Amino acid sequence: MSMKSVLKRAALYILRGVPVKNISASISYLAPSRRLEGKRIVVTGGGRGLGFAMAQKFAAEGAEVLIAGRNEATLRESSAKLSCKYIPFDAENEAEIGSFMRQADQMLGGANCLVNNAGISLHEGDIRNVSFEGFDAQMGTNLRGGYFLAQKFIEIFERDGRKNGSILFLSSERGIYADDLPYGLTKAAVNSLTRGLARRVITSGLRVNAVAPGITASDMTGFASDGNLFLGCNASERLYLPEEVAEVACFLLSDASGCLSGQILTCNEGKSGNAHWD
Residue 236 phi, psi (nearest 5): -100, 10
**Single-letter amino acid, residue 206:** L
Query: pLDDT at residue 218 above 90?
Result: no
Q: Give the mean pLDDT of 82-90.
A: 97
pTM for the whole thing? 0.88
Q: Give the mean pLDDT of 127-143.
A: 98
Query: pLDDT at residue 119 above 90?
Result: yes
pLDDT, tens digit (0-9, with 9 covering 90-100), for 230-270: 877 787 787 888 899 999 999 999 999 999 999 999 988 77
DSSP state of 191: H
State which H helix or E strand residue 4 sits in.
helix 3-16
Distance CA 118, CA 46 (A): 8
Q: What is the pLDDT of residue 226?
A: 66
Residue 20 phi, psi (nearest 5): -100, -5
Q: What is the pLDDT of residue 234?
A: 80
What confidence category does residue 219 fall into, taking pLDDT thresholds of 50, 70 and 90?
Answer: confident
What confidence category does residue 228 fall into, taking pLDDT thresholds of 50, 70 and 90?
Answer: confident
Query: pLDDT at residue 2 above 60?
Result: no
CB 190 within 8 A of CB 210: yes
Query: pLDDT at residue 222 above 80?
Result: no
